Amino acid sequence: MIKMLTKFENNDFSVDEFYSEISKKLKGYEFSSFALGVGYPKEIKEETKKKLRVDFQKGLVYKISKELNKKVDYKNKDILIIIDLIGKKIEYVFKPIYVQGRYNKYSRELPQTYRYCFKCRGKGCKLCDGKGKLSETSVEEILREYFLELFAAEELKFHGAGREDVDVLMLGNGRPFVLELAEPRKRSISKKELKDLEKKINLNEKEIQIHKLKFCKEEKVEKIKQADHKKLYLALVECDEKISQKEIKALKGKHYVKQRTPERVSARRSDLIRERVGKIKKVEYVSENEFKVWIKADAGLYIKEFISGDAGRSIPSVSELLGKKCKCKQLDVLKIL
């Protein structure tokens, strides 16, 4: 991630001048390793380039390493310094810090991530009351405030292992996530400080709780995004006709479901037919037209549509199996399996 940029006008190849500029820009940044690259203009002859790589480039690397007491590491650097002699600029690429954990969500009005207003695309309009977003905050935004402060970072990216709908609670062992902290000024954060931050968030926040925070590598982002986690759900189902305990007990068992991309997400998801398994493990009678159902589901099974049938896009569905029109009145994720 390139964040800082320096422009220069002279054509001098002064090690001291470039070192002075670089050390000034990196003041306040914690880092233990760096790498340096130089882009030379085409008009410079090859013999001159060879000499510059020794006298200027290697000399500058040596001076930065010695004066700032930093290790030169081209494979695992904290900061990459790029001197572009063609465009006359210095760019700094900072290695992000990654933190993984799990979160629980206890609000039915809290989305996982920032919800841009689809109408104005974040600019502000009547629909979003000029805010540019459709919710006051999110799990991502709550965590951003705490983590940017601790790491003195410029930005935070939230990577979740899937997501639940805004009105769905995330209970049990929580949903895995990875936070990517861009351009951190502080890198020497200890495991204890991370645990202290976890306690602070859980003490201050009522809508979310986080746990199992620890540092991880970049590869973890792809792993949690590709992981096919089965989940255990609890749904409160409402029917438009009276139901009996005998009828709902007949729902128990494994159901092989074919689902076309639901209408409610069709604008942002590919129109596909997915085959998933939904196992109804337990049912509980609530009233003459309501019941609870516990569903163990494959990753990617849309539970609300599995219940309603989504106008025939989800086959079979609880509605079809009961022969009554049903809808999911309330939904919780009880556990990520």
Q: Cα Rg for the chain, rounded, in angstroms?
A: 27
- Among the listed residues 84, 165, 167, 298, the single catalytic one is 165
**174-206: b (≥16 Cβ within 10 Å) or e:** bbbbbbbbbbbebbebeeeebeebbeebeeeee
Pairwise CA distance, residues 62 & 72, whole Å: 9
- Residue matched to tokens 């063609």: 86
Pairwise CA distance, residues 251 & 246, whole Å: 9
16 part of the active site:
no
DSSP 8-class letter at 242: -
The C-alpha torsion from 36 through 37 and 38 to 42, rounded to 10°, is: 170
Half-sphere exposure for 121 (CA within 13 Å, toward CB): 0
Q: Which residues contact 326 (CB under 8 A, 6 or more apart)?
A: 237, 238, 239, 240, 307, 308, 309, 317, 318, 319
- Residue matched to tokens 């900072």: 94
Pairwise CA distance, residues 73 & 324, whole Å: 66
The C-alpha torsion from 55 through 58 and 61 to 63, rounded to 10°, is: -40
Give the E-state strand segments of the chain in sequence order: 2-7, 33-39, 71-72, 79-84, 89-94, 97-105, 155-160, 169-182, 208-216, 231-239, 253-260, 273-287, 290-297, 314-315, 326-336
Q: How many CB atoms lie within 10 A of CB 66?
A: 10
Helix or strand or coil: residue 140? Answer: helix
Catalytic positions are 165
